[in-house]
Amino acid sequence: MRKCWNCGQPTNDETSRVCSDEICQRAEKKSSDGKFRNKELVKLHERRRERARKYNQRPESKAKMREYQQLPEIKERERKRRQNPEYKAKARERYLRNKKLREEE
């Protein structure tokens, strides 16, 4: 069961982001229209993401990340994380959702 992003109450539908409360319904409408967004913050975020993307594309950054991922403690942490039943359930759900989307196309 999903929770409403506005008030945290359980939603009626798995695909809905908000509960059936009128206030939450209006908040979702305003959010989808973009009325909650501060345009300066959005621009700042976009600039930061672009810089991070360019940084991560550099060969030296990729080499650092590969080296970090090869550390034994990091490998062990990731292995434990993948063993977690909650992680497996989410991964399975994500897989099924993607499979369904591909079939619809």
pLDDT digits (tens, 9 = 90+) for 43-99: 899 999 999 999 999 999 999 999 999 999 999 999 999 999 999 999 999 999 999
Which residue bears the tokens 């206030």?
23
Closest to 95 measured CA to CA, from 13, 5, 87: 87
pLDDT score at 34: 64
pLDDT score at 1: 66
> CA–CA separation, 4 vs 18, rounded Å?
4
User: Which residues, 6+ apart, have CB-to-CB distance to 81 below 8 Å?
Assistant: 87
Which residue bears the tokens 């079939």?
103
